[in-house]
Structure 1
Amino acid sequence: MKNIGFLSFGHWTPSSQSQTRSAADTLLQSIDLAVAAEELGADGAYFRVHHFARQLASPFPLLAAVGARTSRIEIGTAVIDMRYENPLYMAEDAGSADLIAGGRLQLGISRGSPEQVIDGWRYFGYQPAEGETDADMGRRHAEVFLDVLHGKGFAQPNPRPMFPNPPGLLRLEPHSQGLRDRIWWGASSNATSIWAAKLGMNLQSSTLKNNETNEPFHIQQAAQIRAYRSAWKEAGHTREPRVSISRSIIAIMDDRDRGYFGRGGEEDDQIGFISPETQAIFGRGYSAEPDVLIEQLRKDEAIAEADTLLLTVPNQLGVAYNAHVIESILKHVAPALGWR
């Protein structure tokens, strides 16, 4: 059995070919798609965060709105770039959104991905400390965020406050109990997945990871998941961790699907560089008739290792079509693979 959700990058463009021609279109349709996905029986609605791009950015207003419109579905991110974040203010935002959603937030965070601008986090007022890289800074912000989510008091109260204080040191409010256990780390390397396990974060692994062994993507990703689970067990955590992966999976059900995705072109992994020093491997996409798709997905070792599958959706094709994409997988693919 697997949790199955969708992951939207929230692209928008003023092109007449797009169903999302403005930021408002993308935000409002993201809410509507989450509602539709819940009605179809999907388990999660996840959103990507990219700054300085015509895509979804600051996530908490959207997460809170989705939480207010739904009642069951998990609501999450994949991922928030921690290089850009004030971890204390983020903890307040996250606590508020989680309380509105009734404890359904699943927050994926990370050190970030290649950006639209050069060192965009500098425009947000952040810079690495002496001897740090920007990745180090992102991980440092993440550790502060995790610490304050425990809900322990740390701030000295004013002896003459405007309003009465509870006794002792003060914590950030609002605090949402249990949110600390629902933080995920987006890891592109085996080393960072092990680091995440030691800190007690769940693991998110996408369609891109560092090319560490020159093996096929799904084999490298499966090895990453096994290394993470081993490190989790060694750390002695008492709860079971969760692991999500994302995939582009389209079931060809009709001529519309065939027109959009029937030409193939993503049947093989791709190799590229995400920085001058880091070679990455990009996982293939899947698009085929359900019977073919089922056999292809049986061979994906990383899907077998993960408990949560996020379907990347082509959000610019509109809510109705994306609901169809999700429903096709839930009804015509997932049961045959034992996911439902």
Structure 2
Amino acid sequence: MPPTSRPLRKLGFLTIGLFDEADPRRGHESTLEIIELGERLGFDSAWLRHRHLQYGISSPVAVLAAASQRTSRIELGTAVIPLGWENPLRLAEDLATVDILSGGRINPGVSVGPPMHYDRVKEALYPDTADVEDFGYGRVRRLLDFVRGKPATDFSGMEGFEVFSERVQPHSPGLGSRLWYGGGSLRSAQWAGEQGMNLLTSSVVKVEEPEDAAAAPDFAAIQLSHIRAFRAHHPDGENARVSQGLVVIPTDSATPEQRAKYEEYVAKRTPRTAAPQGPARLLFAPDLVGSSAEIAERLHAHAAFREVDEVAFALPFTFEHEDYVQILTDIATRLGPALGWRSGT
């Protein structure tokens, strides 16, 4: 088996945190229990997806606050917070507060663009400013500035018995270096590098070659081009942090019933990986299911994986708590070591 060019240094996982509308607490508790399990297994990081008006985590910062009080070592991230739903100043306050409470373990990942189904939600979200909101990179720039301590106002000092600060409080000095951008296009990767952010890659990329290109699009090659563009424009160059987030489902300790369910799940999702999807021409990576040895072999052959030393493997959306326990246990005890990772615990 060929070695990776970058030994796997950090092993993480990503969960959507699904819940039943009739019992939302149980679903959120399951997410917290999974994060606690991740810490016990030695994972370096746990990441939460963000879902609005769905049955997934709508407030990852609040969930991370809870997780920070039930763990002591594991890093806690978001992958990603869509900033179209957020006020950057208020979000900066929340992130800094949770980072302080966690002891400096928060890794906020963000993205830009209009909120999903914006035409149907804009009157509820921005009733007075829907047509003038900026959903571009400027929104991330504002968040970066606030988190990194730039002034939010020209007023500070005493007013009566109260003391005011010109910058967001609390200020968490290390948080600015732990902000991630979730990008799937060449432009986003380059921009994130120019801002000195970290880069979150996932199982989705944008195909930017012409539709009549001679060769079929290659997911790994496209993602590799994003990683290299990001590092080429980042102040830290080749040392700039990149994390990859493919869907992996090891079956080493799975029951026959679990294996059948996992294989059916992957089979249903595989057709979308054959060609770019929709007007945005999004290309999805195949989910990786099989033994840890089989998955490791496929990852070692993945051009983009060979250039990262951090991963946040994505857990499937619709599985049961017991399935996630089995998958995480196999990742930590079998797949991670097969990729050269060693637990720091």
Taking the aligned partners of 2:339 and 2:99, their CA distance within structure 1 comes to 32
Taking the aligned partners of 1:79 and 1:98, their CA distance within structure 2 comes to 16
Structure 1 stretch displaced more, 65-74 or 320-329: 320-329
Indicate which of 126, 141, 144 corresponds to 2:142.
Answer: 144
Report the alpha carbon displacement of residue 204 of structure 1 after superposing the two structures with TM: 0.7
Letter in 2 for 1:2: R
Q: 1:6 to 1:128 in 2, by over 3 A?
A: farther
**Stretches of 4+ aligned residues off by more than 4 angstroms:** none
Report how many residues are paired. Answer: 322
* TM-score normalised per structure 1: 0.86
Structure 1 stretch displaced more, 118-127 or 244-253: 118-127
Task: Kindly provide the CA deviation profile for residues 172-205 of structure 1, in whole angstroms up to 9, marking residues without a partner as x.
Answer: 1111111011100111100111011101110011
Q: 1:101 to 1:206 in 2, by over 3 A?
A: same
- Please show how residues 152-231 of structure 1 align to structure 2 within 5 Å: 152-157=150-155, 161-165=159-163, 170-213=166-209, 214-231=216-233
Residue 18 of structure 1 is matched in structure 2 by none
Taking the aligned partners of 1:293 and 1:154, their CA distance within structure 2 comes to 47
Taking the aligned partners of 1:212 and 1:227, their CA distance within structure 2 comes to 14
CA contact (8 A) 2:80 2:110 kept: yes
Letter in 1 for 2:178: R
Letter in 2 for 1:6: F
CA contact (8 A) 1:12 1:26 kept: yes
Report the alpha carbon displacement of residue 237 of structure 1 after superposing the two structures with TM: 4.6
Matched, 1:334 2:332: no
Q: Give the match's secondary structure for 2:69.
A: helix
Report the alpha carbon displacement of residue 31 of structure 1 after superposing the two structures with TM: 1.1
Matched, 1:2 2:2: no
Q: 1:38 to 1:256 in 2, by over 3 A?
A: farther
Structure 1 stretch displaced more, 315-324 or 54-63: 315-324
Q: 5+ residue gaps in structure 1? A: 15-20
Q: 5+ residue gaps in structure 2? A: 1-7, 210-215
Taking the aligned partners of 1:249 and 1:4, their CA distance within structure 2 comes to 12
Taking the aligned partners of 1:159 and 1:302, their CA distance within structure 2 comes to 50
Residue 37 of structure 1 is matched in structure 2 by 38
Residue 283 of structure 1 is matched in structure 2 by 285
Report the alpha carbon displacement of residue 239 of structure 1 after superposing the two structures with TM: 9.9
Report the alpha carbon displacement of residue 157 of structure 1 after superposing the two structures with TM: 3.2
Q: 1:24 to 1:155 in 2, by over 3 A?
A: same
Indicate which of 302, 307, 319 corresponds to 1:305.
Answer: 307
Matched, 1:56 2:54: no
Taking the aligned partners of 1:226 and 1:243, their CA distance within structure 2 comes to 10
Q: 1:249 to 1:117 in 2, by over 3 A?
A: same
Report the alpha carbon displacement of residue 316 of structure 1 after superposing the two structures with TM: 4.6
Q: 1:324 to 1:119 in 2, by over 3 A?
A: same
